[in-house]
Structure 1
Amino acid sequence: MAGEGQAVLVVGEAGIGKSRLVQALLDETAEDSHIVLRYQCSPQYTGTPLWPVVQQLSFAAGFAPEDNDEQKRQKTEALLRRGTDNVSEAAPLIAALLGIQIGSTYPPQELSSQQRRTHTQAALIQQLIGLERRHPVLIVIEDVHWIDPTTLELFSQVLDRIANARVLMLLTSRPDNQPNLGGHPHVTRLTLNRLGRGPTEAIVSHLSGSQNLPPAVFKEIAGRTDGVPLFIEELTKAVLEAGMTAPGTVPVSLYASLLARLDRVPGVREVAQVAACIGREFPYSLLAAVSPVPETDLQSALDRLTAAELIFQRGTPPETHYAFKHALVRDAAHESLLKSRRQQLHANIARALEEHFPETRDMEPELLARHYTEAGLAEQAVEYWRQAGEQALARSAMAEAVTHLTEGLVVLQAFDLGKERQRHELRLQLALGQASIAGKGFAAPETGRAYARAHELCLELGNVPELFPVLYGQSVFYFQRGALREAHGIASDLLRAGREQANVAAQMIGHRMIGSTLCQYGRFAESRDAFEAALALYDPERDRGSGLVYAIDSRVMCLSWLSQLYLILGDLEQAVAYSRRVPAHVDELEHPGTAAVALAWGCIFNQLLRDSHNAAAQAQGAITLGTEQGFPLYRAAGSVIHGWAQAKVGRSTEGLAEMKQGLAAYRATGAECGRPTFSACWPISVGKQIVRRKALASWTRL
């Protein structure tokens, strides 16, 4: 209430009582005037960007299964009005996140995937802060050991904003994979430890009530549960329900206890097992579609499971949603199945999702991938993992993309050796290379490994169209790492393959990469000729999308290189002319990678001209776009040149500090190409600072 935002991370092993603690807090504050936002992470969606947020927004907006896009749009706008004044700006972003088609309701937003990601996160944070202006806000995020990277990034940003807000954020996590919250000063970490004998006996006594359990049974329960509250509760209930009050009759484990409880509730074990294959949370509609139990018996079984407090219910049939009391209860039911039956159920669930819930293909390919993986159907699983990876890549969720594509490669091991397996792996490795370039840089080891394996697969498969982007990826990897001989050799292979297959676009890329390596060798005239040859082959229609396949638009890249080459060769007029052609082409393309490299090259060009004003402006553009889009290489280059410009106009201390930071960030990407240019700026700036200090000292002595 005082406007001092706080966060509490509750850490404890499974069954220790984290969820019970959360519920106790919710019960205790139920009468207070505040807003509760609850987010539940899931092991099935660890790689789906913002999945907990999507679920919370859908629930808060009151979506019904029969709602069409227009109804969902109206409900989304009503939800947003509670926290933001600018609904027209936030609504298209949130609607896209929720998979709502808005048609022409709002003006089109010309945003790249990374810009959409950044703006969506900003809209979500603004909505939350807007709610806080009306009432205090309690944010509950459960099971963050299963949080996806994008949601973790979002709530890390929220933490930065709540220091002076009426917000309490409560997170729960198991010790393994607990979130890295960046050492925020207003995060308190609370560890829940196992219970001692006294609290254990108190729980058993409370549950047993008037049924007096013998001391030996008390002791046996305490010994086998080892102070874990969920274990204590479940074993005690198992003993009481079965009347096992003699020593030696207590179930030996939580697993045995849960199975015994399931068996004692008539007609529920099979229903619980099918539900467990769906997940900890499961909708009635999907369960009914895959359960072999008749619908009347199914509802009766669910009622009995609810009465036994093994599952909880939300909503009313047929739109009811259920959740197992605890992930361990779900796991016990799932693991009680024979492997063959478990695989069959997962296959049935995947097919039911495809048939009855076709939107799952586009909205949740990761879910289908997981079910097909559990089913042992490798071909379908690999295809959905690839789709999930490419979808995450399109959303600029690079960590999730790498996770999905890597999962696909793991599943691929189940394939028989042959051409089909090689084709699947090639597509995965190529997408993995693109994700690594975007997220970690051209020179990252992960980039090199993905393209090296993709090249092997191209050679094994023979004449495949993927060869050209693969050769480019390998050449630019070696080039950025300073391995010029390898980069030049692969670029020559690319040019030769393009000529052999009459692929003009590939020839253009080959000339471009050869020009890059020749420049680093100091063969400036030959480098210029190679870039001129590449530029002559550029077709605005055919190659407009070259930035999507080859990371950067070839025309912009050639013009940027040529501006510097003509400057080095002493033709200032031509150099400036080429440089001035770049911005118009960048504006035409609306491709963030190309825009970022153009800004980076532009600031370097102006640094060579000793034009600190324009160098600083373009360097700041590279920093801003590189930060927004997640391009570490161009952000680092911009920092070095911006620091140089600062030092040149007299702000030496700030400038040198920024240059130092930029050089370190550039090295961290693994890139070697360009380091001599950047490093040369350092002694120039340091030398000027020393000269100024000496001059000031001399003037003072006069």
Structure 2
Amino acid sequence: MGEGTTVRLELLGPPRARNGETVRPLGGHDKLHLLLFYIAVEGETSRECLLDLFWPDHAAPAARSNLRQVLHKLRHQLGEVIPLTVGRQTVALAPGVTVDVHDFLRLNESTERGDLTGAAALYRGPFLDDCLPPLGLDALEEWTLEWRDHLQALAVDLFRRALALAEAADQRGEWQQLAERLLELEPWEEEAHAALMRRHAADGDTAAVEAQYRRLADVLAEELGTEPGPDLQALRDQLTRGEAPPPPPPPGRPESRRLTALYVDCAAEDAEEALAVSASARTGIQRRVEEWGGCVPDFHGSGVLAWFGYPLPREGAARAAVAAALAILETEPHARAAVHSGTVVISQGNELMGRVPATVVAVRDRAVAGELVASDATRRLVQGYYRCEAMGDGLWRVVDTTGARDRLEARTAPPPPLIGRSAEAERLRRHLEALGRGQGGALMLRGEAGVGKSRLLAEVLATLPERPVVHEIHCSENFQESTYWPVIEFMNQLLGLEPAADEGERHARLARYVGELYADPGAVLARLAPLLRTRTGEERWGTSETTPAVPAGVVGAALADLLERGAGTRPLLLLVEDVHWADSATCELLNGIHNRAGERPTLMLITARPDFRPGCDENMEHLDLAPLGPSDTRALASAVVGGVLDDEALDLVVRFTDGVPLYVEETARMLAAGDDLSERLGIPETLQDLLDARIHRLGRWLPVAQLAASLGRSFQRELLLAISPWDEETVDHGIRALLEEGVVEREQGEGERLEVIRFRHALIQEAAYQSLLPSDREEAHAAIAGALREQFPALARAHPEWVARHLAAAGEDEAAIDHWLRAAGLALHRSAPTEALRHLRQGLKLVMQKEASSERDRQELDYRLVQGSAYLVQGEYASESASAVLDRAYQLCGTVGRIHEVFQVMWCLWHGESSRRGGRSSEGASGRRLLGLAIRMREAGALQRAHYALANDYFFAGEFAVSRHHALQARSWPPDTAPPLGDDPWLMAGAFLAWDEWFLGRAARARRVAEETVAEARRRRPQDRAMALAFQGLLGVRAGDEACVAAVLPELEATVADYRLPIWQMAAEALSAWLAARHGESAAVVRLAPTVAGSREAMPAVVGLFQLILAEAHLALGDGEGALAVLAEEAEAEARYRQGHDRAERRRREGDALRQVHPDQPEQALHAYRAAAEVARGQYALVPWLRAASRAAELGGETDRADYEAALAALEADGEPAELPELTDGSYCPTEGVAPN
């Protein structure tokens, strides 16, 4: 070999060597060339390995001698062409020699059109075309065939991808050449024919379009006995009419997917024995793997590495892997096996990358001969289907099957109650009751996976007083191409046969069964013959591809008659589960059974997916199961996990599961197990295979779904187009494909009238998203964030949380922190505090991940301030969460806070403290401290808030005149159209001013202020409106004004129903119960009890008010003892929270209660009334004073009468006696008697 020349060994196609321009063909049937080819592909190889492969039957000395001779010939005959490096232990090609196989594999990994075209040019034909080792070299023959199959599979996928890129680039010559090359490898490849049809249409040659279609039709008819699919037929019709062809699907991209790996090898200790055993067993192992839906893309050392869920995902991949492993161990006594499930990367060249192979091999090391060991990841997926024994270190020995055929039978715990299916259950029950009366028929239950079809059947069957004879046929995804497989499995169970029973045993067993039921069994046996056919050898029963000699409908009718006779006089129920997985012959058989419906009391119940189109009679009655509604979803989720989920978690279940019961159950368990609540909840591992299989039905349009999923559950067509690498026509065609497949649906847009599309299920969107590689996700999110800010600014302003989410996912943390804060502020102004807190949690995660610094403290303070305000809007004034946030904010103010931020923190702290204790405090964040800060700030807004805080403090202390003064001060500034986060000081001051005026005897003024406050609040935020309405309604309660409460309540209830405002929700419940009690409804007391308990948790300072309402409800119902018990608790609350505002009213109600309980002991009531009057007199609370004094005057003497007169005089001097119902209706005039208010 001359210096500078490049030597190349070309093994794709007929083998040859190239040296510069010189090409030399190489033989391929002798050991000399085959040894050269082996080391060329595998690289440096040990002499021992070559001895085992090329001279397996020779003694060691003879084998070594033969190897030396072959190497000598190689060096002398081909050394000038293909130089070798021969060492004492190994043999390799000399440096500088290249091999086309290696270049093909490297270029195949690329996504660039030029690289793929180059790889396509390298593939001249099958690996070592027309070369096979001499007889007897079985291991070498296997190696050759494995590489040939592997490289051809890669080539097929390569040509598909290269063709898609060439067509997208409109490179017509390259496009046509690649399509023709692809058809050489796969003559029935529809996409290649479609590409050529589009190529001919682009040239205006419709005759060539039709000819290309006929070419495919002929191939399919001759080779596969089928015809082109409906999509290609539609394309032919479109192109022959001269219409523009639809765009080709976008090229695929690397994908992340969970697979289950099965590794099988020989447990023999001797390496030579292991190699021999494994080589002889590989064919049988591979057959078993493929039978259960797995594939063996490549052998792995001396073992077999099989994949389940590849190349296409499938439901139950882990279960299929375990079933295949157990079947292999039955026939291979020396074998040991391991299974492991994990995430791999599937390259565009369909190469599998990741740690799963290494892990499953490590798991294998713990297995002995005849044993299957599973990782914990796989064990969790097959739990309930297989019995496993713990081995330690997260490994499990698979013992045997439990016999479970579906999720319902595989449950390890009792199922939750059947929720939300009463109508469907009743309809099904009517069919079964009709069967009991001798009426047959057929019913198909349709619903998507996990909607509860089997569960509904089981639940209704369990309630029947008399069960019919029940037979069950279960169809399986693993055997949907196997003729009659579900029925054959059913016959095995019916006759007590093992699956491996031979044809003679089957015939004898069936003949005995039929002979007991028929006088002339021969004709029946002939009709049932297809269910007896078997095949010899390794292949399972029922996999014949030949057409049954007896029509399937005739077989079905015979089977139905057989089962009906076996049932005798009892009705027969035939359950057919998962018919969407049945083969065509089984469907025809079921049609035969359906055609007999009504002849005898036989009911056939079939379960199917919604997209199943039966070959049976379209007149079959259907029962469609829809997803559950939100309330039923919440109830089911709570029942599954014993009620441990809070409202936020239940909201997530509703959002992520869309009411599909299986999704609900698994998601609820995942949350109950402690998974964090976040923007991306993730997919329960038990649903991963199901969802992966669903999205891969999109085929080559999956990339559109993946990119759309990056946008979120809902996405705008225009935004998808903006970030897409494809043209508008391709994007629109992809959206249509997603719509037709039922993955997405259209919904009403907003803002800029953009077309909005929504994934029908959040978990399907999540599955499409997670199938992207992390690097592709990050790239997509960066593009989305950029497009939102630059091309759709209105959307970005309206939804800063969208921008924040995409920025965070793209790794742009600083910008994301800013947008999460914006999103939280916007949510608060929309009265959505729960949403705001969710945004703040996301942003704070990013803030706290940064290195400690003053900048980080600054950002954290910004977040804590908004977080504290969010708790205020939510009504969690006194919660531990709010206190912790505000304490942290106060701490940060000490280092990075400015005076207005200190004021904001103190404002929030004041809310919490006043809510926990009410009234004034000499310590903590009191209103006086706020006023001091506000004076220093010289800001009207701060002064307004400080005066409102003092009005609040003094009110709860029972100093109503002082409270009124500060409320008027706060109201002296005009309402702020953009009030601070938290309570609106102008509105809140008005609410307390109305109460102050009432206590001070100015009822008309109180009503007027309350009405003004409500009118202004209606122009503000929903929480402002709810607050003002609640205060007005509670004012009505204080005044005993039923009309006021009744007028306020509907609007208040509507407001709190639309927005989650727990404090005002409790107020609405209290007002409603108060009205009910006034009208004699005894249930009112029961309704009020949870409200009181809730206020004690959320806002302890107001619990006294709710207790007073509860006590009055007891009084209105004549339950004085109940009222006294509640009032005793209120007295404790007064002392605990240092409140005095309702002390007089509490003591008066004690007197009313004592009069009910001890009517013959008025002195006890009189004592309470006098105490109430004394408190009210000291507070100058004129209405409570009048009420208490009037009661005391009725029971007491002249002193009490004088006190009553003093109260009246005070009202005349400072109040509005003419407006007081207490005087105008005579209810508090002692001369006319009294009645409890």
Give TM-score, length-normalised by structure 1: 0.54
Cα distance in 1 for partners of 2:719, 2:990 equals 56
Residues 12-91 of structure 1: pairs in structure 2 closer than 5 A: 24-28=609-613
Cα distance in 1 for partners of 2:1023, 2:878 equals 16
CA contact 1:369–1:381 (8 Å) conserved in 2: yes
CA contact 1:392–1:400 (8 Å) conserved in 2: yes
Is 1:511 the counterpart of 2:947? The answer is yes
Aligned residue type for 1:499: I
CA contact 1:11–1:173 (8 Å) conserved in 2: no
Q: CA 1:631/1:334 → structure 2, altered by over 3 Å: closer, same or farther?
A: same
Measured after TM superposition, the shift of residue 383 of structure 1 is 1.8
Paired residue for 1:579, among 988, 997, 1007? 1007
Is 1:175 the counterpart of 2:638? The answer is no
Q: CA 1:684/1:154 → structure 2, altered by over 3 Å: closer, same or farther?
A: farther
Residues 366-377 of structure 1: pairs in structure 2 closer than 5 A: 366-377=801-812
Measured after TM superposition, the shift of residue 3 of structure 1 is 12
Measured after TM superposition, the shift of residue 353 of structure 1 is 3.8
Unaligned runs of 5+ in 1: 40-49, 51-145, 160-168, 181-191, 196-226, 238-261
Measured after TM superposition, the shift of residue 495 of structure 1 is 0.9
Measured after TM superposition, the shift of residue 290 of structure 1 is 6.0
Measured after TM superposition, the shift of residue 436 of structure 1 is 2.7
Task: Give per-residue Cα distances to partners, 1:357-396, cap 9 Å, x unaligned.
Answer: 4444135433322222123221111122223333443444
Measured after TM superposition, the shift of residue 409 of structure 1 is 0.6
Higher RCO, 1 or 2 (CA under 8 Å, sep at least 6)? 1
Cα distance in 2 for partners of 1:407, 1:680 equals 42
- Look up the match of 1:474: 909
Is 1:331 the counterpart of 2:767? The answer is no
Paired residue for 1:429, among 864, 885, 895? 864
- Look up the match of 1:676: 1104
Q: CA 1:468/1:361 → structure 2, altered by over 3 Å: closer, same or farther?
A: same
Is 1:605 the counterpart of 2:1035? The answer is yes
Cα distance in 2 for partners of 1:666, 1:516 equals 18
Paired residue for 2:927, among 491, 500, 525? 491
Aligned residue type for 1:331: Q
Worse-matched range after superposition: 364-373 or 678-687: 678-687
Unaligned runs of 5+ in 2: 1-420, 426-445, 452-476, 479-577, 582-606, 631-647, 672-683, 747-754, 1123-1154, 1160-1237
Paired residue for 2:797, among 347, 362, 365? 362
Task: Give per-residue Cα distances to partners, 1:412-461, cap 9 Å, x unaligned.
Answer: 12334445434433333333333333335333333333333333334432
Task: Give the CA RMSD over aligned residues.
Answer: 5.8
Aligned residue type for 1:680: L
Q: CA 1:320/1:312 → structure 2, altered by over 3 Å: closer, same or farther?
A: farther
- Look up the match of 1:588: 1016
Cα distance in 2 for partners of 1:332, 1:469 equals 45
- Look up the match of 1:636: 1066
CA contact 1:289–1:352 (8 Å) conserved in 2: yes
CA contact 2:970–2:989 (8 Å) conserved in 1: no
Question: Would you say how many aligned residue pairs link Structure 1 and Structure 2?
Answer: 484
Cα distance in 1 for partners of 2:978, 2:1034 equals 26
Q: CA 1:179/1:399 → structure 2, altered by over 3 Å: closer, same or farther?
A: farther
Cα distance in 2 for partners of 1:321, 1:685 equals 52
Cα distance in 2 for partners of 1:152, 1:320 equals 21
Measured after TM superposition, the shift of residue 538 of structure 1 is 3.1
Measured after TM superposition, the shift of residue 620 of structure 1 is 5.8
Q: CA 1:23/1:606 → structure 2, altered by over 3 Å: closer, same or farther?
A: same
Q: CA 1:682/1:488 → structure 2, altered by over 3 Å: closer, same or farther?
A: same
Residues 343-492 of structure 1: pairs in structure 2 closer than 5 A: 343=778, 346-482=781-917, 485=921, 489-492=925-928
Q: CA 1:517/1:38 → structure 2, altered by over 3 Å: closer, same or farther?
A: same
CA contact 2:909–2:925 (8 Å) conserved in 1: no
Is 1:551 the counterpart of 2:986? The answer is no
Aligned residue type for 2:1060: G
Q: CA 1:331/1:680 → structure 2, altered by over 3 Å: closer, same or farther?
A: closer
- Look up the match of 1:653: 1082
Aligned residue type for 2:1088: M
Task: Give per-residue Cα distances to partners, 1:48-107, cap 9 Å, x unaligned.
Answer: xx9xxxxxxxxxxxxxxxxxxxxxxxxxxxxxxxxxxxxxxxxxxxxxxxxxxxxxxxxx
Is 1:560 the counterpart of 2:988? The answer is no
- Look up the match of 1:664: 1093
Cα distance in 2 for partners of 1:467, 1:459 equals 9
Paired residue for 1:533, among 961, 966, 971? 966
CA contact 1:626–1:634 (8 Å) conserved in 2: yes
Q: CA 1:417/1:588 → structure 2, altered by over 3 Å: closer, same or farther?
A: same
Q: CA 1:5/1:633 → structure 2, altered by over 3 Å: closer, same or farther?
A: farther
Measured after TM superposition, the shift of residue 512 of structure 1 is 2.0
CA contact 2:692–2:767 (8 Å) conserved in 1: no
- Other structure's SS at 1:176 match: helix
- Look up the match of 1:95: none
Measured after TM superposition, the shift of residue 535 of structure 1 is 1.8
Cα distance in 1 for partners of 2:860, 2:779 equals 26
Aligned residue type for 2:957: Y
Measured after TM superposition, the shift of residue 11 of structure 1 is 4.8
Measured after TM superposition, the shift of residue 503 of structure 1 is 1.5
Cα distance in 2 for partners of 1:563, 1:322 equals 49
Aligned residue type for 2:992: W
Cα distance in 1 for partners of 2:792, 2:989 equals 48
- Look up the match of 1:43: none
CA contact 1:313–1:322 (8 Å) conserved in 2: yes
Task: Give per-residue Cα distances to partners, 1:642-695, cap 9 Å, x unaligned.
Answer: 434443x450513323332432332342x1113223323444443551479999
- Look up the match of 2:956: 520
CA contact 2:691–2:767 (8 Å) conserved in 1: no
Cα distance in 2 for partners of 1:692, 1:634 equals 29
Q: CA 1:469/1:3 → structure 2, altered by over 3 Å: closer, same or farther?
A: same
Measured after TM superposition, the shift of residue 479 of structure 1 is 1.0
Residues 44-193 of structure 1: pairs in structure 2 closer than 5 A: 149=651, 152=654, 172=663, 175-177=666-668
Cα distance in 1 for partners of 2:1062, 2:744 equals 47
CA contact 1:455–1:470 (8 Å) conserved in 2: yes
Residues 184-263 of structure 1: pairs in structure 2 closer than 5 A: none
Is 1:501 the counterpart of 2:937? The answer is yes
CA contact 1:515–1:528 (8 Å) conserved in 2: no
Measured after TM superposition, the shift of residue 587 of structure 1 is 1.0
Aligned residue type for 1:562: L
- Other structure's SS at 2:878 match: coil
Aligned residue type for 2:1016: E
Cα distance in 2 for partners of 1:279, 1:580 equals 49
Task: Give per-residue Cα distances to partners, 1:496-524, cap 9 Å, x unaligned.
Answer: 110001113212221221232233334x1
Q: CA 1:391/1:597 → structure 2, altered by over 3 Å: closer, same or farther?
A: closer
CA contact 1:433–1:473 (8 Å) conserved in 2: yes
Measured after TM superposition, the shift of residue 150 of structure 1 is 9.0
Q: CA 1:611/1:380 → structure 2, altered by over 3 Å: closer, same or farther?
A: same
Percent sequence identity is 21
Aligned residue type for 2:1014: V
Cα distance in 1 for partners of 2:705, 2:1110 equals 67
- Other structure's SS at 1:674 match: helix
